[in-house]
Structure 1
Amino acid sequence: MRETTKKWVFLFVLALIWGSSFILIKKSLLGLTPYQLGALRTIISGLFLFSVGLKSLRAIKKNEWKWVVISGFLGSFIPAFLFAIAETEIDSAITSILNSLVPLNAILLGFAIFKIGFSRRQLFGVIIGFIGTSILIFQGADLNPDQNYLYAGFVIISTVMYALNVNIIKKYLQNVKPLSIATGNYVAIMIPAIIVLLFTDFFSESTFTHKDFEMSMVYVIVLSLFGTALAKVLFNTLVQISTPVFASSVTYLMPVVALAWGLLDGETFGPLQIVASVIILLGVYLANKGRYKKNPKY
């Protein structure tokens, strides 16, 4: 398969997997707390990756482990909890649309931290994206007064972390195999996840007797194996064969999948929210359209 074709295939597969992740988080929360969900998602994903990728750890050089560890916390550990916390208050479709800020943040952080230039078109795209985000949040708060839209901040923080992660992978881990990166990530974050789980009362009778516990576990296992472990390897590959912004633009397509799931699950989505979503995606499109001015590897 040609590399150009390959990167587009990876993009669409990831959009389908990650676009479905938001409804899986929502369903998992029916019988689990956000902290139990975040910890279980990390532990299950880690066990799967260890079973297939332990030997690949040999490919990670000593000076690369620092970046693998940082990547693990920024790209997997912390966001797993933040997204779960966010979805206790806001709809899964809204969460997925806010997640579209990742490419915009990738550009801003790429410039601020990694000294990667950007064009006027990209700057214009960033501004449009943030206007759309503001409209989406304020309109959502009006449309769903029973939901606390301050929790959207947890999603926005996660997008900053994801943006840092893609730039780190591209700049410092470009030559490390995607499976090695993913497995190394979970070597770093598995023990913290186990510690968190032990402090969540997961192993109590009230958790195991909850009426939604069994189905929540099914959802979190599917989420972990596909939405985290498999997608992590695919995404790391996509970053290496394309650019951080192209890889992050998987968020163009994710909201379409997530919105479909949300509507099927009875979530409300007003006309102005649709307009705001289009504005965000337009901003992401414009930002992705431009080219980095420096460092041809990007």
Structure 2
Amino acid sequence: MSDEQNSPGLVSWLLLVLLALVWGSSFILIKKSLLTFSAGEVGTLRMFIAFLGLSPFALPVLKKIERKRLPVLFLVGFVGSLLPAILFAIAQTQLESAITGVINAMTPVFVLLIGLIFFHHKIKTINAIGITIGFIGCSFIMLGGAYFDLSGVNLYALFVIAATVMYGTSVNLIKHYLTDIRSLHITAISFTLVSPISLGYLLIATDFLDKAASDPNFLPGLAYVSTLALVGTAMALVIFNKLVKTASPIFASSVTYVIPIVAIGWGLVDDEVLNAYQIFGIGIVLAGVYLANKK
């Protein structure tokens, strides 16, 4: 199946912009959540709250889903949501939220590579060039942040890169095995299937309950995570899965090229600083977006 089968229309572009605004705000919410909770708590709590918000949509249709589909839906939830949620939180214990949002732009590279290797996708040369340029721009941002001194590159960026590989895997799984399931149901069911893992981790491996009973910052922290979960995770993934199905995996994942603009905006509001090299790299990334989606 070719990624070029559907040409993005106006609705797809509007959804892409909305998704960029929502997801671009996620990184500052993670940063604020980490003031109260550990990285593992932020990731698993984010997923469990999102499950609670989506469970009314999942439970009525869960019994109707063919059993052979459940492993794929579980993988979409585990690899495409739960693990990245934890990895992003770990990364942001040592990375600025704006930089994390920028590195996240590598997702389309792995969507392409995984699609080519495992799903025999075909794309136009100009699209491949665009994705490559986007990758170069992202690398430029990472190196520029350390003033091109390799010893100064923050290795916590590798957690974000690992998360983007997982996103690329999930995108291809949805496009090839779940296109006949409604986007809302894909998200709701996949979250439902991994919710026992999220809850189990919170109750067994963390001091979440102690914080709930005694930490004065618990409620503000919970408000940040809840917003992150219900808006930045649940609602955003419904929109994202819709784009994957109606446009293409590459088009949908190109939202990660626009996300840095929003993430950087929030970072500047929160007194984070970018240097000229990183700003130049953002321009390279945006040029790559244009070429990656050129027909």
Q: TM-score, normalised by structure 2?
A: 0.90
Aligned residues: 286
Cα distance, 1:62 vs structure 2: 2.2
- Greater alpha carbon shift after TM alignment, 194-203 vs 128-137: 128-137
Distance 2:231 2:243 in 1: 16
Q: TM-score, normalised by structure 1?
A: 0.89
Distance 2:174 2:60 in 1: 20
Is 1:161 aligned with 2:166? Answer: yes
Match of 1:279 in 2: 284
Match of 1:295 in 2: none
Distance 1:270 1:120 in 2: 32
Change in Cα spacing, 1:92 to 1:144, as seen in structure 2 (3 Å) is farther
Question: Is the Cα–Cα contact under 8 Å of residues 145 and 277 in structure 2 kept in the other structure?
Answer: no
Which amino acid is the alignment partner of residue 112 of structure 2?
Answer: I
What does 1:218-297 align with in structure 2 at a 5 Å threshold?
Answer: 218-289=223-294
Match of 1:200 in 2: 206
Distance 1:255 1:137 in 2: 13
Question: Is the Cα–Cα contact under 8 Å of residues 129 and 292 in structure 2 kept in the other structure?
Answer: yes
Question: Is the Cα–Cα contact under 8 Å of residues 132 and 280 in structure 1 kept in the other structure?
Answer: yes
Question: Is the Cα–Cα contact under 8 Å of residues 109 and 132 in structure 2 kept in the other structure?
Answer: no
Is 1:46 aligned with 2:51? Answer: yes
Distance 1:271 1:148 in 2: 16
What does 1:1-298 align with in structure 2 at a 5 Å threshold?
Answer: 4-142=9-147, 149-198=154-203, 199-205=205-211, 208-289=213-294
Which amino acid is the alignment partner of residue 240 of structure 1?
Answer: K
Change in Cα spacing, 1:212 to 1:138, as seen in structure 2 (3 Å) is farther
Question: Is the Cα–Cα contact under 8 Å of residues 31 and 211 in structure 1 kept in the other structure?
Answer: no
- Greater alpha carbon shift after TM alignment, 110-119 vs 132-141: 132-141
Two-structure CA RMSD over aligned residues (Å): 2.2
Distance 2:177 2:18 in 1: 25
Question: Is the Cα–Cα contact under 8 Å of residues 34 and 81 in structure 1 kept in the other structure?
Answer: yes
Question: Is the Cα–Cα contact under 8 Å of residues 44 and 225 in structure 1 kept in the other structure?
Answer: yes
Question: Is the Cα–Cα contact under 8 Å of residues 48 and 199 in structure 2 kept in the other structure?
Answer: yes
Which amino acid is the alignment partner of residue 6 of structure 1?
Answer: V
Which amino acid is the alignment partner of residue 46 of structure 1?
Answer: F
Cα distance, 1:142 vs structure 2: 4.3
Question: Is the Cα–Cα contact under 8 Å of residues 121 and 286 in structure 1 kept in the other structure?
Answer: yes
Cα distance, 1:144 vs structure 2: 11
Ranges in structure 1 where 5+ consecutive residues have no aligned partner? 291-298
Which amino acid is the alignment partner of residue 170 of structure 2?
Answer: N
Which amino acid is the alignment partner of residue 266 of structure 1?
Answer: D
Spell out, residue by residue over 1:221-267, the C-alpha distance to the aligned partner (whole angstroms, 9 max, x if none): 11111011111111111111111011111123211111111100000
Spell out, residue by residue over 1:76-107, the C-alpha distance to the aligned partner (whole angstroms, 9 max, x if none): 11000000011111111111111111112211
Cα distance, 1:212 vs structure 2: 3.2
SS of 2:29's equivalent in the other structure is helix
Ranges in structure 2 where 5+ consecutive residues have no aligned partner? 1-7
Match of 1:296 in 2: none
Which amino acid is the alignment partner of residue 67 of structure 1?
Answer: V
Cα distance, 1:282 vs structure 2: 2.5
Distance 2:19 2:236 in 1: 6
Distance 1:101 1:202 in 2: 32
- Greater alpha carbon shift after TM alignment, 61-70 vs 155-164: 61-70
Spell out, residue by residue over 1:135-178, the C-alpha distance to the aligned partner (whole angstroms, 9 max, x if none): 22222234999x97101111111111111111110111010111
SS of 1:253's equivalent in the other structure is helix
Identity %: 42
